[in-house]
Structure 1
Amino acid sequence: MADDTHFDLEELDEDPVPEIVVEEIKPERKPLNLKPILIGLGILVAGGSLGGVAYLFTAFETRDVIGLMDVGENPPKLSFDLPGRGEPPKPGTGSGLLTPPVAPGAAVPGNGEILKALPDDTPSPDSLPPALAPANAPANASLPPAEAKPDTKTAALPPGDYVAEPESPVSKAFAPKPPPAVDSSGMPTQPNPRAADKPPSYEGLPERKGEVKALPPAPNKEMQKRTAIGDLPVPSPDGKQPWQVYARPWSGPADRGKVAVVVMDMGLDKVATEAAIAKLPPEVTLAFSPYAQGLDKWVKKARDYGHEVMMVLPADSNGTQPRDPGPLGMTNSVPPESNLARLEGVMSRGAAYTGLISLGDKFAASEQVVQMLGQLRDRGLLYVGPGAAPADRTPALAPVTAVADADLFREAIEMRLNQVSIAARTKGKALVVINPRPLSFDRLLPWLNDFDGQKLVIVPVSTLVQPPPAPGKS
């Protein structure tokens, strides 16, 4: 092992080391190809041109294209000639339509002078009264000197020929128009302006004249049926009807037109109810709301003052702002059984009343009104309001001629009361409904006091209704 030497390693170290050469690879540059870009631009240009042509053919009309072509050849023309256009200026006037008239010898704009505006309300010399017009003033007087201070009361516009500006048809069409005084039926649509005066009030109503005669005590126990919800009216065992027993007796001239007046919604306002009971004539019928409190006391007080009494039957009505009839109201949105329960609820709220009154024309147009009218016939009650039923289901009833204060202002109330007077004279009878408001009572009482001059007479509702047909007759 010791003799094993490697002298050849030194020889190996003297061999040359091979050189490693790395060749640099350069990326190949290709020429830019503009062909796709040009093709795309060509497509965009061609598409835009085609779209524009298509738009012209689809959106433009022939007369529009012709109009565009004519603009270049023919200048636009006015539809009418302006006053003074194309004429030479007259002495003392301006040189054009928009140039103010200038007196002879006065400075004009553009020559170093500023045209001063005059007040619009300055009268012309011709319109001044003789006392204010300057003495011996010529027709075309010149402006006063600059140093003189003209009197503002007698300052006038510069003389000249003025042309009235023609009224534009557009401004005339869009000018504000006052609301019509009456509608198509002749009813006033707004009150007339009047001087401020003391508004009507219940306290300002005149006291009722004459002796107060009370109606007989009521209710009759034989004409009441006890139920789970309260006492309901029924005919007596001998066949007497509640609408006849609880009515106010009346006897009067037969050659006059009969007018019945019903005041609605009694019992809701204490002051209004007391005023109606104490100050309205006893022939006026008072209809109490089923939502009022203490109805037994109110009904007794009304009968003590001689008033015939009814109950209000709330129901669905038409109109732009219909009122909610409430939980006891008759409505088409519930089944007939529910409406029957509500009807009994209204009838159980009071006693000693002749019948029910309703203004619900929407419910009256439905089929359920037949069931309601049949119940009133079975109970021996009368009905005032819209609605119809077969003869065997029709109670004693009367239609409403007018609601006097449907529009709560003086002119409308008086007009409707006048219409009721005409209906009573021509047809022999009429029925008007009114609400408990100071203005309504204030207009009602003078109208009632003039009945002698109109050959009319006021009667309770029970005198005006048509009795129900006998069974088996139509």
Structure 2
Amino acid sequence: MGTDLRAPLGQKRKKQDRPQRRPSVFAAIGVLAGAGLLGLSFYAMRSTDKLEKASPQDVTVAVPPADSKTPTVQRDQKALQTNGQSGSDVQRTVMDDGTVVTKYSPRQREGEGPVIINAQRFGQDPKMATSPNEDLLEDSPFGRLPVKGPDGLRALEQYARPWSGARGNRIAIVIGGLGLSQTGTQKAIQNLPGEVTFAFAATGNSLQRWMQEARRDGHELLIQMPMEPIDYPDNDPGPLTLVSKDSPKENLRRLHEAMGKITNYTGIVNYLGGRYLTDADAMEPILRDIEERGLLFLDDGTSAQSKTGTIAQAINAPHAFGDMTIDGQLDRQAILRKLDDLERLAQRKGTAIGIGSAFDETVDAVAQWVREAQGRGVEVVGVASLVTDRNE
């Protein structure tokens, strides 16, 4: 009788035949599962290796900064239509600090190619109309004078009154002499619509103040420069008068002194000048300086012998002629008749420019006539939109 060494002490265990073990189903499943996991692990390792070797251009991930905010974007077509920019899309973006950035981009028109528009060249935002574009100014002993911007932008474009761009009769009315009479200037600004162009006398008073009021109401502005008349010096327009016998340097000094009186104007218009305008040698340096500073020159058309057109064409200076003086007879009804003549002229040639002064009768007649003419489909525009400009 053998001894079972594995049996507990004092106990005897009966010998049993051990049955043959068979593979368990669960064990088989476990083996298969392990093999599957091993295969997946191997596949993942291969995939990771491929990703590490892939070019960085294969996958692009944009992750915004944690504190970034998405600017609010708004589109405003109504603003374009009212500012003569209906050929563009307007996109206004509100930035984090509350400022609004306005972007103009071309918009496709039916039946036409893309409309290319430089937003800067359609005048200022009305809210900024009293403030000059700093890129268009330089300091001088006479104050801040206009210059062309780094991108070629000119005061002629920056401060121009926008117009619709529609076909039809266009008329510009220029009222001069502003700044000479406080009450007359105030009445003109209060009663004349923004479509009328104002010319401030170089020898006027409080010009900076009047400039801001006029620009706030949407007026395009010129500086009215006194020039030597036929009967000078018996008829002396003032201390800044350009005189043909004086040196170009002296006349340019006077011009710059006048230019430094205000900002935000599109050009220069003569006051008198029957003799000076006919002297090509005297006039050429003046027109050249005006052109180089990004301004237009308006000849009031009173001198039949004026050389400004010929000189302006030769040096590519933006230039226009007045077609008629509307208040040669200082009577309201007579002025209204002249304005009707101006409209008939525009019907024949498409455009016309009328010149007047800030007399009470002129202001009253022009205010009435503009309202009536607009009802007849006449568009009154700033004079800058009617100049001959080969630089465009």
* Cα distance change, pair 414–279 in 1 and its aligned pair in 2 (3 A): closer
Q: Secondary structure at the match of 2:152?
A: coil
Q: Which runs of 5+ in 1 are unaligned?
A: 1-212
**Is the 8 Å Cα contact of residues 391 and 469 (structure 1) preserved in structure 2?**
no
Secondary structure at 1:431 match in 2 = strand
Instruction: Tell me which amino acid in the other structure corresponds to 2:144.
Output: D
Q: Which amino acid in 1 is paired with 2:159?
A: Y
Secondary structure at 2:379 match in 1:
strand
Tell me if the contact between 1:214 and 1:305 (Cα under 8 Å) persists in the aligned partners.
no
Against the structure 1 CA distance between its residues 459 and 407, is the aligned structure 2 distance closer, same or farther, given a 3 Å change threshold?
same
Which residue of 2 is the match for residue 461 of structure 1? Answer: 383
Q: Per the alignment, do residues 295 and 261 of structure 1 end up closer, same or farther by CA in structure 2, a change over 3 Å counting?
A: same
Of the three residues 269, 280, 301, the one matched with 1:357 is 269
Other-structure match for 1:240 = 153
Which residue identity does 1:371 align to in structure 2?
P
The 5-angstrom pairing of residues 200-239 of structure 1 reads 216-239=129-152
Q: Any conservation in 2 of the 1:214–1:303 contact (CA below 8 Å)?
A: no
Q: Quick check: 1:265 aligned with 2:173?
A: no
- Residues 232 and 321 of structure 1: is their aligned pair in 2 closer, same or farther, counting only changes over 3 Å? closer
Distance 1:439 1:223, change over 3 A: same
Give % identity: 30
Matching residue's letter, 1:306: G
Residues in 2 aligned to 1:286 and 1:267: alpha-carbon distance in whole angstroms: 10
Residue identity opposite 2:158 in structure 1: V
Residue aligned with 1:243, SS: helix
Q: Say if 2:322 is the partner of 1:400.
A: yes
Q: Work out whether residues 403 and 432 of structure 1, in 8 Å CA contact, stay in contact via their aligned partners in 2.
A: yes
Q: Among 374, 380, 394, which residue is 2:288 paired with?
A: 374
In structure 2, C-alpha distance between the alignment counterparts of 1:429 and 1:318, rounded to whole Å = 30
Query: Within the alignment, does 1:291 sit opposite 2:203 as a pair?
Result: yes
Q: Deviations over 1:161-194 (max 9, x none)?
A: xxxxxxxxxxxxxxxxxxxxxxxxxxxxxxxxxx
The amino acid of 2:296's aligned partner reads: L
Deviation at 1:335, TM superposition (A): 2.3
**Whole-Å Cα distance in 2 between the matches of residues 279 and 223 of structure 1?**
30
User: 2:352 is matched with which residue?
Assistant: 430
Judge which range, 390-399 or 307-316, deviates more.
390-399
Instruction: Give distance in 2, aligned partners of 1:290 and 1:246.
Output: 18
SS of the residue 1:430 aligns to? strand
Q: In the TM superposition, what whole-angstrom CA distance separates every residue of 1:327-381 from its partner, at most 9, and x where no partner exists?
A: 1111223222211111111111111111111142321110211111111110000
Deviation track 1:272-312 (CA, whole Å, cap 9, x = no partner) reads 11221122111111111111222222111111111111111
The runs of 5 or more residues in structure 2 that have no matched partner are 1-125, 302-307
CA contact (8 A) 1:400 1:432 kept: yes
Equivalent pair of 1:373/1:394 in contact (CA under 8 Å): no
Amino acid at match of 1:224: L
Structure 1 CA distance for aligned equivalents of residues 358 and 233 of structure 2: 20
Instruction: Give the corresponding residue for 1:251.
Output: 164
The answer to whether the 8 A contact 2:374-2:380 is kept is: no
Deviations 1:236-272 (A, max 9, x none): 1111111101112221531x21110111011121121
Separation in 2, partners of 1:394, 1:369: 14
- 1:54 alignment counterpart: none
Aligned length: 257
Q: CA–CA distance in 2 between the matches of 1:446 and 1:321? A: 38
Paired AA for residue 252 in structure 2:
L
Higher normalized helix content (fraction of residues): 2
Q: Taking structure 2 as the reference length, what is the TM-score of the superposition?
A: 0.61
Q: What does residue 343 of structure 2 align with?
A: 421
Over alpha carbons, which structure has the higher Rg?
1
Instruction: Supply the RMSD in Å over aligned alpha carbons.
Output: 2.2
CA–CA separation in structure 2 for the residues paired with 1:231 and 1:296:
12
Q: State the 1:323 CA deviation.
A: 4.1
Between the aligned partners of 1:459 and 1:312, the Cα distance in structure 2 is 19
Does the CA contact (< 8 Å) of 1:215 and 1:306 recur in 2?
Answer: no
SS state at 1:424 partner: helix
